[in-house]
Each structure stands twice: as structure tokens, then as C-alpha cells.
Amino acid sequence: AQSVTQLDSQVPVFEEAPVELRCNYSSSVSVYLFWYVQYPNQGLQLLLKYLSGSTLVKGINGFEAEFNKSQTSFHLRKPSVHISDTAEYFCAVSENTGGFKTIFGAGTRLFVKA
């Protein structure tokens, strides 16, 4: 069974600074990888996804992530954050085992300070 570990529960950062949110996963089969963002009192929305191909994937709002198969990681990065990026970020892994059971990490709270 797959699992996802988000290594930081909270990441405080100053506005315009770069940020990296770390995610490691484990699975015995090929997986699809995702990052979702959740703003207060809202549902989750997809930031970016890795299905196959290039290991560097770009998403919305200037975010990107790199799939590293040997390290089983899928870290999320942004070169310069804004106050509006303050939210909860979830890494997710999905295995195709007849049905797509997508498992989420515990989440990382990104807090951008002025």
C-alpha cells in the first residue's frame, strides 16, 4: 500500500523568499503524484501533477515540483512567495489498483509573512 510523508507540518517564510515543501512517498508500483492546495474554508484544488514524462512539472501560481524516483520524493518549490500563498498544501500519491485510491499526506501549513 502506498503512503505519503510530508516532512514539515509548518513552514513560515517571508514574502518574496523562495520556499520548498518536502514530500516523500512509498509504493510498490508506479504512481501518479500530485500537490493540492487548500485555502481556509475551501475544498482542495490541484496545483500540479506528475503522471509520466518530464520529472520537472510546472503548476499554477508559479509552483513547480520535481519527481525523483530514486529518492521517492516529490518536493514542491516556488522561487518567490506572496502573502496570498498562505494555505495548507497536500502531497498525494495515487496507485492504479483497479480503482484509483489517492492517499494524502498530513499537509504542510505555509505561512507567508510580510
Positions in the binding site for other proteins (CB under 8 A): 32, 34, 36, 42-46, 49, 51, 90, 92, 94, 96-107
**Smallest distance, other proteins to C-beta of residue 21, A:** 15
The 3-state DSSP class for residue 31 equals strand
Helices (H) and strands (E) in the chain, counts: 0, 12
Q: How far is the CB of 52 from other proteins (least distance, A)?
A: 12
Closest distance of CB 14 from other proteins, Å: 27
Task: Give the nearer residue to other proteins in terms of CB position, either 81 or 94.
Answer: 94
The cell numbers describing 77, all together, are 518549490
Contact at 8 Å (CB) between 18 and 78?
A: yes
